[in-house]
């Protein structure tokens, strides 16, 4: 079981995290959409987990594509 | 080397139609020989990849394990010889994404990928719902008995994908027949000859004649869309460019063929297999009807349960090691998706149909660079159909014995007779 990655505590930031709009990131290979707001609890990513807080060695849960091959998208 | 009786079973169209025979064979292999070579009579030797983790490992390394170097589907030595004779040396009758490796695979996939992204499919939702409602009404009109495979499941995804491609409704029966003749080439009830296939060389000739019929049809479509492009996939293929050049003839025709066959047949099989499973498991029907939050897990379980694509082949491009076994450059590997989707190491009670199964990381759509392009459309079509059908479906039970297609590559139920009550 993966350790759950959660949103960074507010006090760690100069600007409150909640002031930033949530964004979507999409896998270039399979189209899997990661929503920062919803997270992906099945993958151990709690709601509110920012893209930047996901480890660089994370891979797409649907097809194995590396994190670097995701694009920020408007949905 | 895998024993001959098991090796014969895992390549037998009749064993896939039976279902239990291949399930038992793969359960044995996962336990006793999860990655081993097989050489059924008439075939070149190939590795049988039965475990979920090993399938992922092969699919993830798409430079080390190629699709196009040898046949991408399991074929006999005689059929391979006949194909190469016809094509001037290529092991492929068609050259679609399935037979390509990079850089072509990346370039050709990118051509239509955007059309199948979830955010771009949203614009189709209202129209697909209208189509689904029409099929639910037609099911109700059957008066409580129908063959759900033939009367609903074969026709609904067909209608959706043909609209997306841009094929007129009047041509849908022809597309369905050609698809069934292609994927059901070993099934005497579906193939072009209407007979048992004994001579694999003759079988290649029959498949080639089906491919030629598809090409004749889509060549005319290309001419039409080049003259007058529309907002459809056919226009994207007809007018698309790769590195500044139009698609090659074989590649363009193959693009249409894969969209016009795999684009509906697999969803049809999953839809038919899902209702079959619900008819046999009324508790699961009650669960999913009673809790709409289970819709997506039900759909994933349906896809895992049916696994309509039974295998793809890969060819090692270098000497390597997989799960402790030495794989030599040029070795041929069979990725068994039904086996990966019943892997006891990943799925609890894998032979149980569980609409609430989570997680459910099945490999029915593949994995890695070749993961199914149409997976989001398939899920969306199924979700909409069930959202329309479940509120009206009071009960369903089998009304005879369902039958699976006889095929070892792409197949699912060909007949699911049911009795039902609808409001």
pLDDT, one tens digit per residue, over A4-13 is 666 655 445 4
Q: What is the pLDDT of residue A11?
A: 47
Q: What is the pLDDT of residue B184?
A: 85
Residue in B280, B344, B337 with CA at minimum distance from that of residue B148: B280
Rounded Cα–Cα distance for residues B105 and B115 (Å): 17
DSSP characters for A7-57? PPPGGG-SS-GGGSPP-EEEETTT--EEETTT-BGGGTB-TT--GGGS-TT
Give chain B positions within 8 Å (CB) of A65. 368
> Alpha helices, DSSP H only, in B88-199?
104-113, 118-121, 125-141, 148, 155-165, 172-183
Cβ separation B371–A75 shorter than 8 A: no
pLDDT, one tens digit per residue, over B258-289 is 999 999 999 999 999 999 999 999 999 999 99
Rounded Cα–Cα distance for residues B256 and B262 (Å): 10
The answer to whether B382 touches B274, Cβ cutoff 8 Å, is: yes
Confidence of residue A45 (pLDDT cuts 50, 70, 90): very high
Cβ separation A29–B367 shorter than 8 A: no
Give chain A positions within 8 Å (CB) of B65. none
Mean pLDDT of chain A: 85
Give chain A positions within 8 Å (CB) of B371. 29-30, 62-63
Rounded Cα–Cα distance for residues B333 and B9 (Å): 17
Q: What is the pLDDT of residue A14?
A: 53
Enter the DSSP assignment of B150.
I
Give chain A positions within 8 Å (CB) of B117. 26, 31
Is B327 in a helix, a strand, or coil? Answer: strand
Rounded Cα–Cα distance for residues B268 and B183 (Å): 13
Bridge partners, residue B48, by sequence: B36, B334
Bridge partners, residue A5, by sequence: A45
Rounded Cα–Cα distance for residues A47 and B366 (Å): 27
The answer to whether B66 touches B317, Cβ cutoff 8 Å, is: yes
Rounded Cα–Cα distance for residues B130 and B329 (Å): 51
Q: Is the Cα torsion angle A62, A65, A66, A68 positive or negative in sign?
A: negative
pLDDT at B137 over 70: yes
Tell me whether B56 touches chain A (CB under 8 Å): yes
Q: Is the Cα torsion angle B222, B125, B361, B10 positive or negative in sign?
A: negative
Which of B117, B358, B368 minimises the CB distance to A31? Answer: B117
pLDDT at B167 over 90: yes
Q: What is the pLDDT of residue B195?
A: 83
Interface test with B, best of A26, A28, A30, A59 (most B CBs within 10 A): A30
Mean pLDDT of chain B: 96
Confidence of residue A1 (pLDDT cuts 50, 70, 90): very low
Q: Which domains does chain A have, with CATH numbers?
A: 21-73 (2.20.28.10)
Cβ separation A29–B358 shorter than 8 A: no
Q: Does domain B4-422 have CATH number 1.10.630.10?
A: yes
Q: What is the pLDDT of residue A75?
A: 84
pLDDT, one tens digit per residue, over B170-208 is 999 999 999 999 998 888 888 888 888 777 777 898 999
Is B76 in a helix, a strand, or coil? Answer: coil
pLDDT at A51 over 80: yes
What ipTM does this complex have? 0.85
């Amino acid at each position: 079981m993966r350790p759950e990655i959660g949103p960074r505590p507010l006090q760690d930031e100069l600007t409150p995290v909640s002031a930033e709009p949530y964004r979507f990131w999409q896998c270039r290979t399979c189209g899997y959409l990661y929503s920062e707001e919803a997270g992906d609890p099945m993958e151990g990513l709690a709601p509110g987990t920012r893209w930047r807080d996901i480890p660089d060695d994370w891979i797409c849960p649907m097809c194995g594509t590396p994190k670097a091959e995701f694009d920020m998208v408007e949905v | 080397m895998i024993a001959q009786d098991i090796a014969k079973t895992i390549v037998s169209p009749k064993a896939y139609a039976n279902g239990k025979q291949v399930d038992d064979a793969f359960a044995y292999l996962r336990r006793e020989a999860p990655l081993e070579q097989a050489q059924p009579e008439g075939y070149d030797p190939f590795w049988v990849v039965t475990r979920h983790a090993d399938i992922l490992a092969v699919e993830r390394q798409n430079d080390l394990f190629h699709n196009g170097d040898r046949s991408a589907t399991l074929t006999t030595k005689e059929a391979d010889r006949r194909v190469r004779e016809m094509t001037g040396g290529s092991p492929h009758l068609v050259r679609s994404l399935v037979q390509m490796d990079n850089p072509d695979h990346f370039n050709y996939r990118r051509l239509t990928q955007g059309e199948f992204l979830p955010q771009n499919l949203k614009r189709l939702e209202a129209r697909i719902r209208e189509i689904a409602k029409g099929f639910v009404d037609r099911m109700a009109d059957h008066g409580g008995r129908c063959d759900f495979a033939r009367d609903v499941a074969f026709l609904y995804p067909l209608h959706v994908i043909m609209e997306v491609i841009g094929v007129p409704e009047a041509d849908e029966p022809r597309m369905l027949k050609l698809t069934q003749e292609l994927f059901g080439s070993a099934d005497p009830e579906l193939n072009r000859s209407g007979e048992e296939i004994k001579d694999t060389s003759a079988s290649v000739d029959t498949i080639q004649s089906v491919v030629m019929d598809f090409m004749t049809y889509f060549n005319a479509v290309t001419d039409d869309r080049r003259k007058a492009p529309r907002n459809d996939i056919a226009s994207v293929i007809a007018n698309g460019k790769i590195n500044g050049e139009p698609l090659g003839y074989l590649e363009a025709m193959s693009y249409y063929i894969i969209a016009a066959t795999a684009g509906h047949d697999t969803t049809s099989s999953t839809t038919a297999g899902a209702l079959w499973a619900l008819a046999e498991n009324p508790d699961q029907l009650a669960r999913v009807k009673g809790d709409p939050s289970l819709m997506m897990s039900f759909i994933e379980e349906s896809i895992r349960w049916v696994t309509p694509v039974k295998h793809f082949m890969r060819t090692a491009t270098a000497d390597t090691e997989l799960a402790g076994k030495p794989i030599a450059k040029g070795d041929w590997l069979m990725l068994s998706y039904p086996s990966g989707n019943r892997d006891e190491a990943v799925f609890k009670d894998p032979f149980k149909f569980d609409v609430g199964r989570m997680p459910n990381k099945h490999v029915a759509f593949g994995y890695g660079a070749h993961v199914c392009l149409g997976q989001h459309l398939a899920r969306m079509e199924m979700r909409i159909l069930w959202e329309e059908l479940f509120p009206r479906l009071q009960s369903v039970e089998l009304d005879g014995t369902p039958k699976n297609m006889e095929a070892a590559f792409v197949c699912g139920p060909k007949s699911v007779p049911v009795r039902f009550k609808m409001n």
